[in-house]
């Protein structure tokens, strides 16, 4: 905003006591129940702790602390936050520790101060977008308490306001960090005022020429713009008064960075940007908002396509207003935002505002544990499930109800792992070679056990060696990520064949002994070879290796061997056993045939049992995903299946979803189900059947029923080769008279 941009160095030494007095006065006006004695004590502690330290402008360091607390007060933060803002640099820059603060001001304040210090220590280097997004998420997750982020934003805002005193290198790097990290976080939290100021201040250092060009042009055009704004404002004011609407009208030049971005994204010369002015009409109620909108559209011609109703559909960051762009009397377009006072406050201060309202009715509910602390965030999220962009909702969920952890590689890359992940998960997430050759792990410079649970912001370093012994089976007991698990198993399968063979043979022998089966008999070629072939192994070593790495269980093989040993002695067999054996053989045969024709490749698993889910009946060409069932192989779902989209994402279950794909050559027929909604009319089923017939579609089942209101639903199960054929059939059915929709089941 135009009123924040002329913060040029004045070399005036600031008096902290004077600044503090002003802050205290502000708080006295603003928060009647605040304990000013406690705030003052925090000021004294900060002043003593920072005594002797100076800011780059020559002022005592504590002036920065007071300024940050002042910004926090403007945001409407609570007493603990103001106290913490005053103390926000004492852990980082002085001898005071968490305990010292906790003793005098309570653990809540001490935790916030420590949280701010942690964020301050995060090393920042510019990265590609995805990394930046992870870094932002990590900061939010590290903060735990949202007040930490809010105070960090206040801190950064003051540092940016006084950036003129820093070296050019520092100006650039801090501005870049602000533009890429803190302004987006402020935006996500709905704090428009902080976001705009951070962006304008950063731009000033990141593109001084571009910034100056815009400022100069605005200066030049200012008399003309001001005259325009005054006359429009007067017109609107008079008209609203006539209509009996109680409204406050504000107008301003749009902030510099938004003009800058428009110039670059739309490749416009500044003179080509007409709507530099924004009007804001603030009213008492939502009906008034729409009333004013009607009046504005009656007074001026609206620009088509520029009307946006964020009242009925709030933005994901809680923003609400009605926007419209209209043509003023001189043919100059301008934007009008219409909102209530409550919406206005939320737009300016975002999450902080929301929380202030909350504080009003229940006092210190924020202190009573995480559940309460985030209850309002959760409510907020629930109320926004339906809104357009879901990224805010999604991110805040991840951050606040963390099932993820964000850690650094030594190079400063942010790695995202499931909560509870260990250095072994980290190693395998970088590369399977790193995991397989791991000989040690350091977290934040200290050597740690492999099963150490990683925390947000940890810097993780893996030591590797060419002569590493390879992963241990024990690792499978503590790794959290599915990919680490798979990679460890793969290593055992590939690298440890000898060991697997020995291990597998020992396991099988154990099992047979347990069953009381003679090893000599069971492992004789006569018995073993047919069983081996039945299970699709070419050599006995392959079978032992598979048992060794867990591809098949010893008990399953032992059962087979026992049965065959028994059946090789006909005198022991009853008629029923013979019948059962035959049935089992048929079943095995059927299963093996099925396996050969399913046409599915499963990552990291050979020879596993495949089942197509009944909920979504995938066919070749669909995007698919596999779920490892308990004991029934892998069931295949479409990625747009409801059961996949609404899956339980706890780490334990998330790891059961695995990548699968269709094999290159598929010659099989697949069964799938579609549902048709239509008018309930005579001859409908006949017409659908005729269409199906004309395409030679193989129908397994067709049922149609009336659902009332003259509507019918028809469900067809049919056989197709792939999704192309299915779509063709669906399109043809859609063309049948009276059909309103044709959908696949499950999505
Ligand atoms: Mn600071």
Mean pLDDT of 46-59: 92
Mean pLDDT of 468-489: 87
Q: How is residue 600 written in tokens?
A: 């599915």
pLDDT surpassing 50 at residue 6: no
Residues 196-245 have pLDDT tens digits of 999 999 999 999 998 998 999 888 888 988 998 999 999 999 999 999 99
* Distance set, CA 741 to CA 55, 574, 692 (Å): 69, 58, 16
Higher pLDDT, 322 or 267: 322
Interatomic CA distance for residues 672 and 675, integer angstroms: 10
Residue 412's nearest CA partner among 452, 454, 460, 364 is: 460
Q: How far is CA 563 from the centre of its chain?
A: 53
**Catalytic residue selected from 24, 92, 133, 563:** 92
pLDDT surpassing 50 at residue 316: yes
How far is the centre of ligand 1, averaged over its atoms, from the C-alpha of 705 (Å)? 69
Q: Which of 321, 356, 391 is the last residue of a domain?
A: 356
The answer to whether residues 460 and 414 belong to one domain is yes
Interatomic CA distance for residues 89 and 120, integer angstroms: 9
Mean pLDDT of 480-503: 84
Whether 350 is covered by a domain: the verdict is yes
Q: What is the pLDDT of residue 585?
A: 61
**Catalytic residue selected from 24, 57, 74, 93:** 93
pLDDT surpassing 60 at residue 8: no
Q: Give yes or no for a contact between 502 and 547, defined as CB atoms under 8 angstroms apart.
A: no
> What CATH number is associated with residue 722?
3.30.70.260
pLDDT surpassing 70 at residue 573: no
Mean pLDDT of 635-653: 79
The answer to whether residues 175 and 30 belong to one domain is yes
Scored b (16 or more CB within 10 A) or e, 107-125 reads ebbbbbbbbbbbbeebeee
Higher pLDDT, 375 or 553: 553
Whether 363 is covered by a domain: the verdict is no
The answer to whether residues 52 and 196 belong to one domain is yes
Whether 361 is covered by a domain: the verdict is no
Length of the chain, please? 747
How far is the centre of ligand 1, averaged over its atoms, from the C-alpha of 355 (Å)? 23
Lowest mean pLDDT among 300-309, 355-364, 609-618, 681-690: 355-364
Whether 10 is covered by a domain: the verdict is no
Mean pLDDT of 126-150: 75
93 is catalytic: yes
DSSP string for 411-433: TS-EEEEETT--HHHHHHHH-HH
The answer to whether residues 113 and 92 belong to one domain is yes
Q: Model confidence at 48, in pLDDT bands (50, 70, 90)?
A: very high
The answer to whether residues 22 and 144 belong to one domain is yes
Q: How is residue 367 written in tokens?
A: 């202190």
Mean pLDDT of 686-693: 84
Whether 446 is covered by a domain: the verdict is yes
Residue 621's nearest CA partner among 723, 728, 747 is: 723
24 is catalytic: no
User: Coil, helix or strand for 695?
Assistant: coil
The answer to whether residues 562 and 581 belong to one domain is no
Q: Give yes or no for a contact between 355 and 375, defined as CB atoms under 8 angstroms apart.
A: no
Interatomic CA distance for residues 148 and 237, integer angstroms: 42
How far is the centre of ligand 1, averaged over its atoms, from the C-alpha of 353 (Å)? 22
How far is the centre of ligand 1, averaged over its atoms, from the C-alpha of 707 (Å)? 66
The answer to whether residues 193 and 217 belong to one domain is no
Whether 4 is covered by a domain: the verdict is no
The answer to whether residues 442 and 509 belong to one domain is no
Higher pLDDT, 396 or 314: 314
Residue 627's nearest CA partner among 616, 611, 614 is: 611
Q: Which residues contact 623 (CB under 8 A, 6 or more apart)?
A: 638, 639, 640
How far is the centre of ligand 1, averaged over its atoms, from the C-alpha of 485 (Å)? 43
Interatomic CA distance for residues 48 and 93, integer angstroms: 12
Interatomic CA distance for residues 227 and 223, integer angstroms: 6
> What CATH number is associated with residue 220?
3.30.460.10
Q: How is residue 233 written in tokens?
A: 């404002």
pLDDT surpassing 80 at residue 106: yes
Q: Which of 494, 512, 530 is the last residue of a domain?
A: 494
> What CATH number is associated with residue 434?
3.10.20.30
Interatomic CA distance for residues 651 and 644, integer angstroms: 15
> What CATH number is associated with residue 74?
1.10.3210.10
Q: Give yes or no for a contact between 138 and 339, defined as CB atoms under 8 angstroms apart.
A: no
Q: What is the pLDDT of residue 388?
A: 33
How far is the centre of ligand 1, averaged over its atoms, from the C-alpha of 163 (Å)? 12
Tell me which residue range forms the domain holding 83. Answer: 16-203
The answer to whether residues 170 and 62 belong to one domain is yes
Higher pLDDT, 583 or 457: 457
How far is the centre of ligand 1, averaged over its atoms, from the C-alpha of 624 (Å)? 50
DSSP string for 494-546: HHTHHHHHHHHHHHHHHHHHHHT--HHHHTSHHHHHHHHHHTT-SSHHHHHHH
User: Coil, helix or strand for 24?
Assistant: helix
Total domains in the fold of the chain: 6
Q: Which of 567, 586, 618 is the last residue of a domain?
A: 567
Interatomic CA distance for residues 737 and 731, integer angstroms: 12
Question: In what side-by-side order are the strands of the sheet with 657-662?
Answer: 600-602, 657-662, 624-628, 634-638, 610-612
Q: What is the pLDDT of residue 353?
A: 63
Whether 368 is covered by a domain: the verdict is no
The answer to whether residues 557 and 690 belong to one domain is no
pLDDT surpassing 60 at residue 484: yes
How far is the centre of ligand 1, averaged over its atoms, from the C-alpha of 115 (Å)? 12
The answer to whether residues 455 and 518 belong to one domain is no
Higher pLDDT, 719 or 274: 719
Residues 588-624 have pLDDT tens digits of 554 444 443 367 777 666 666 778 888 888 888 888 8
How far is the centre of ligand 1, averaged over its atoms, from the C-alpha of 156 (Å)? 7
Q: What is the pLDDT of residue 391?
A: 38
The answer to whether residues 230 and 312 belong to one domain is yes
Whether 439 is covered by a domain: the verdict is yes
């Amino acid at each position: 905003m135009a009123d924040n941009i002329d913060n040029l160095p004045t070399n005036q030494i600031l008096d902290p006591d004077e600044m503090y007095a002003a802050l205290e006065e502000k708080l006295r006006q603003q928060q009647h129940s605040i304990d000013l004695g406690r705030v003052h004590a925090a000021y004294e502690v900060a002043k003593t702790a920072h005594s002797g330290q100076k800011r780059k402008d020559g002022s005592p360091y504590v002036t920065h602390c007071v300024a940050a607390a002042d910004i926090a007060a403007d945001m409407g933060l609570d007493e603990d936050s103001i106290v913490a803002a005053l103390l926000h640099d004492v852990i980082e820059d002085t001898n005071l520790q968490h305990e010292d603060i906790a003793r005098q001001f309570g653990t809540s304040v001490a935790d916030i101060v420590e949280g701010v210090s942690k964020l301050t220590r995060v090393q920042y280097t510019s990265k590609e977008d995805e990394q930046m997004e992870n870094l932002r998420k990590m900061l939010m997750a590290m903060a735990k308490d949202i007040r930490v982020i809010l105070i960090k934003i206040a801190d950064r805002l003051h540092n940016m306001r006084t950036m003129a005193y820093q070296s050019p290198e520092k100006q650039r790097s801090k501005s870049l960090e602000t533009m890429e990290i803190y302004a987006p976080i402020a935006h996500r939290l709905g704090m428009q005022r902080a976001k705009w100021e951070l962006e304008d201040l950063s731009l000033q250092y990141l593109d001084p020429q571009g910034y100056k060009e815009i400022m100069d042009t605005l200066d030049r055009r200012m008399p003309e713009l001001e005259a325009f704004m005054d006359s429009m404002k007067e017109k609107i004011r008079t008209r609203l008064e006539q209509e009996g609407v109680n409204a406050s009208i504000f107008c301003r030049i749009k902030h510099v960075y938004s003009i800058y971005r428009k110039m670059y994204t739309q490749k416009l010369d500044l003179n080509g940007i007409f709507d530099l002015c924004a009007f804001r009409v603030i009213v008492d109620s939502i009906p008034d908002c729409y009333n004013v909108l009607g009046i504005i559209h009656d007074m001026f011609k609206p620009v088509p396509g520029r009307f946006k109703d964020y009242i009925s559909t709030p933005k994901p960051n809680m923003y609400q207003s009605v926007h419209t762009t209209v043509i003023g009397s001189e043919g100059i377009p301008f934007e009008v935002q219409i909102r209530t006072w409550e919406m206005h406050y939320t737009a300016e201060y975002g999450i902080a505002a929301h929380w202030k309202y909350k504080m009003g009715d229940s006092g210190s509910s924020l202190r009573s544990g995480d559940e309460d602390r985030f209850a309002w965030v959760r409510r907020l999220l629930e109320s926004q499930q339906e809104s357009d962009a879901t990224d805010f909702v999604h991110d805040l969920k991840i951050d606040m109800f963390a099932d993820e952890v964000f850690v650094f590689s030594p190079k400063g890359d942010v790695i995202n792992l499931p909560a509870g992940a260990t250095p072994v998960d980290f190693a395998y997430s970088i590369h399977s070679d790193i995991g397989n050759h791991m000989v040690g792990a350091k977290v934040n410079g200290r050597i740690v056990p492999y099963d150490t649970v990683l925390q947000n912001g940890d810097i993780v370093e893996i030591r590797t060696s060419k002569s590493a012994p390879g992963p241990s089976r024990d690792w499978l007991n503590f790794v959290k990520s599915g990919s680490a698990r798979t990679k460890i198993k793969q290593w055992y399968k590939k690298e440890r064949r000898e060991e697997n063979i020995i291990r597998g043979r020992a396991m099988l022998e154990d099992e047979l002994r347990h069953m009381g089966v003679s090893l000599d008999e069971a492992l004789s070629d006569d018995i073993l070879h047919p069983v081996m072939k039945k299970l699709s192994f070419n050599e006995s070593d392959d079978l032992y290796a598979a048992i060794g790495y867990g591809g098949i269980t010893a008990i399953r093989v032992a059962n087979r061997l026992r049965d065959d040993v028994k059946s090789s002695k006909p005198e022991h067999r009853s008629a029923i056993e013979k019948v059962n054996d035959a049935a089992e053989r048929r079943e095995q045969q059927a299963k093996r045939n099925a396996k050969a024709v399913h046409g599915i490749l499963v990552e990291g698993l050979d020879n596993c049992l495949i089942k197509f889910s009944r909920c979504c009946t995938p066919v070749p060409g669909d995007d698919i995903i596999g779920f490892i069932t308990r004991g029934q192989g892998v069931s295949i779902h479409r990625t747009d299946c409801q059961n996949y989209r609404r899956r339980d994402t706890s780490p334990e279950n998330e790891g059961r979803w695995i990548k699968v794909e269709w094999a290159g050559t598929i010659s099989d027929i697949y069964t799938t189900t579609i549902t048709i909604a239509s008018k309930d009319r005579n001859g409908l089923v006949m017409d659908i059947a005729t269409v199906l017939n004309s395409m030679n579609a193989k129908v397994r089942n067709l049922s149609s029923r009336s659902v009332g209101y003259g509507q019918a639903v028809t469900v067809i199960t049919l056989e197709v080769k792939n999704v192309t054929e299915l779509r063709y059939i669906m399109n043809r059915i859609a063309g049948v008279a009276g059909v309103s929709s044709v959908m696949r089941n499950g999505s």
